[in-house]
Structure 1
């Protein structure tokens, strides 16, 4: 699976899984929300194992930048709270950092 798909799918799975727990605990919804939440978190962990790198920490660190941007998209689409310019600037900085971590030449 291509890296450009793995990270966004992992971010979607992690955010959806955590959101299910949020809904259950913060919005006082049914514990049945935990079933898809746990499944999504399992999918998230599995997807990160598909990242082609020799170090798990590097895969996780680079994922962080993608996660931040995906969280801003989630906030805009699901929570209908659009990010402000500082959110967007911060997200761009994080994506640049993730790119440096992933694509820097290593000898």
Structure 2
């Protein structure tokens, strides 16, 4: 699989908007990504694969932490790290970059 920087940045931006101190469960992140333009050409399984791959890359770069859940991988908590915030501070996309997702109320 190839790295997609725009996809990775969109994950960081979604995590930045989370108000819960524990981050988002992986399945919640998948649902939000599923609403974005990145999911339009991907089947559900392909979306899981792309999400997992990019989360591993972001974790290895130190931009996110993933806390395993006893309920299974889909419930792992994903949150932005200090380095992830710093990356976005320096590399924030232009105003035209829009995620177009609907946050649950």
Alignment TM-score, normalising by the size of structure 2? 0.36
Q: What TM-score does the superposition give when structure 1 sets the normalisation length?
A: 0.35
**Larger strand percent:** 2
Q: Which has the larger radius of gyration?
A: 1
Higher helix share: 1
Higher relative contact order (CA 8 A, sep 6+): 2
